[in-house]
């Protein structure tokens, strides 16, 4: 019997071009409840947006106990790195996998940014890791984590 609360062995491997389809399916599965709640779910669009943006060189596959269960990408842009395509299979959520992945990928003294859907449970993970509100709209919440030590002008959150 496997104890689902037991610590799992979490590793990251480089993504390959042939990972695109299973990650697109995972994305649709993970985002569906939030997108439906927001009235934005489109089964074709949710997958195609990932396919159009997928860059294997920027993406790592999350492997738990030898099984591919998710993805995370870090994309450099100007003075920041964007945390993107961070999806974990629902069967592995709530087990500390996201915390371990963030500890591994947020490893440089830079400005990190990300966006998360309004009302997403993932927001609490980002809050626990020190991300703060940068701006938001009816659908997206934009967060930042400044590890540079420099001051950033405060946003009013709108």
Specify the pLDDT at position 83. Answer: 98
How does pLDDT run across 33-88, given as a tens digit for each residue? 999 999 999 999 999 999 999 999 999 999 999 999 999 999 999 999 999 999 99
Residue 155 per-residue DSSP state: P
Give the residue among 144, 130, 123, 65 at the shortest CA–CA distance from 97: 65
SS3 84: strand
Q: Answer whether 0.75 is exceeded by the pTM.
A: yes
What's the confidence (pLDDT) of residue 8?
73
Catalogue all structural domains in the chain, each as residue range(s) with its CATH number.
10-109 (3.40.630.30)
Average pLDDT value for the chain = 92
User: What is the bridge-based pairing of β-strands 59-64 and 10-14?
Assistant: antiparallel
pLDDT tens per residue across span 93-108 = 999 999 999 999 999 9
CB count in 10 Å sphere of residue 124: 9
Q: What percent of the chain has pLDDT over 70?
A: 90
Task: For 133-151, give one letter per residue: b (16+ CB within 10 A) or e.
Answer: bbebeeeebbbbbbeeeee
């Amino acid at each position: 019997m496997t104890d689902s609360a037991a610590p799992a062995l979490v590793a990251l491997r480089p993504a390959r071009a042939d990972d695109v389809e299973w990650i697109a399916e995972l994305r649709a599965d993970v985002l569906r409840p939030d997108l439906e709640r927001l009235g934005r779910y489109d089964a074709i669009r949710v997958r195609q947006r990932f396919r159009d943006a997928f860059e294997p060189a920027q993406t790592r596959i999350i492997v738990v106990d030898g099984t591919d269960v998710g993805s995370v990408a870090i994309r450099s842009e100007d003075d920041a790195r964007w945390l993107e395509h961070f999806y974990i299979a629902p069967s592995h959520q709530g087990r500390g996998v996201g915390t371990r992945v963030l500890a591994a990928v947020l490893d440089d003294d830079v400005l990190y940014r990300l966006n998360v859907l309004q009302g997403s449970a993932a927001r609490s993970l980002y809050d626990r890791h020190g991300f703060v509100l940068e701006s938001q709209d009816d659908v997206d919440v934009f967060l930042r984590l400044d590890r540079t030590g420099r001051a950033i002008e405060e946003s009013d959150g709108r």
